[in-house]
Structure 1
Amino acid sequence: MAYTADKPTPPPTAEELRARIPGWGADLDPTDRPSVPKEQPQDLNAHWTFPEEQPVPDGGRERSIEHGRLTPVFGTAQPLHGVSGAIRRYAYSRFSEARAAHWLLLLAGDRVEAAGAHLRSLATSRPDNPITETGIVAERRWAPLAGRRGRADVRHQWIDPLLVAGPWILAAVGVIAVGRRLLRR
């Protein structure tokens, strides 16, 4: 069982491995290994056999299908909510962490959350400013071309402005289209 105070089952000893695998450890001298002191048994002084579990919030908590239970302590600062939360819950309930679909759904949930945050910022008195928040102004001031040389992402730097400005341009086009449609009525 996971999360117990007991030390896990010890690995096979060097003698057992030498008997089982011919030639194993021929060059291994314990006095030369820096990790030998760390491998000595420690007195954990744990006062429990299984840690006290944190109460699960009313809305539940996402848990990977590989694990039989939640960890004893987990974060509750940002509970899942809305469409992005539904996408993330689906990723956790349906797909293993070893599947690409799990991670792609989590990425989609993040993008949906980001789009929602941008839309909410438009409803405030101080909406997001994509020009200053992306660092374009600072990049222009502090040697933009010299700072880009030697970076690992040189091949796809041309697409960065499209990825940053594209959603804002699409949103502006959508607002204009809706505005025109409303004015025609």
Structure 2
Amino acid sequence: MVELLPLSDIEPQAVEALLDAAFGTDRFGRTAYRIREGVDAVPALSFAAVEDGALIGTIQCWPVAHRAADGTATPLVMVGPVAVRPDVQRGGHGRALMAHMLEVAEAQADGALMMIGDPEYYGRFFGFGADGTGEWDLPGPFERRRLLARAINGHDLPRGAGMIGPR
């Protein structure tokens, strides 16, 4: 049986090992890491999937912001990475982690959600889309169609041009 636990209950080294296995040790150069540089994950929205005492998946959420040219900063929550141990991928663990995080975010998120991800998957199953992100910019290379967002908990997407970065 898989348990969903607060990520803070898991040893940080185990989380890092899982992320290395899922995404490779070169993951730190990705744009997603630049966006959340220098901030800690949001504990209330970050979870682990554990089966028989072993970590098999994680989801982390990060406090970021949309900064407009006029200096206005709108809080956002960056979702990801969603990581599942390679030998148990395609077992629904990532989907369970996302669904659980969204359920909690409906009550606790302090900003709309954003992520870099597969629009077909995250749009179909979780309501994320690129419609409101067309003028957003990131501190590194990205595919515009993969910059996704979703309003949640009464928080709408920021409109217009802006840079996404740590709060």
Provide TM-score, normalisation by structure 1.
Answer: 0.24
Larger radius of gyration: 1
Higher relative contact order (Cα pairs below 8 Å, separated by 6+ residues)? 2
| Greater share of residues in helix | 1
Provide TM-score, normalisation by structure 2.
Answer: 0.26
| Greater share of residues in strand | 2
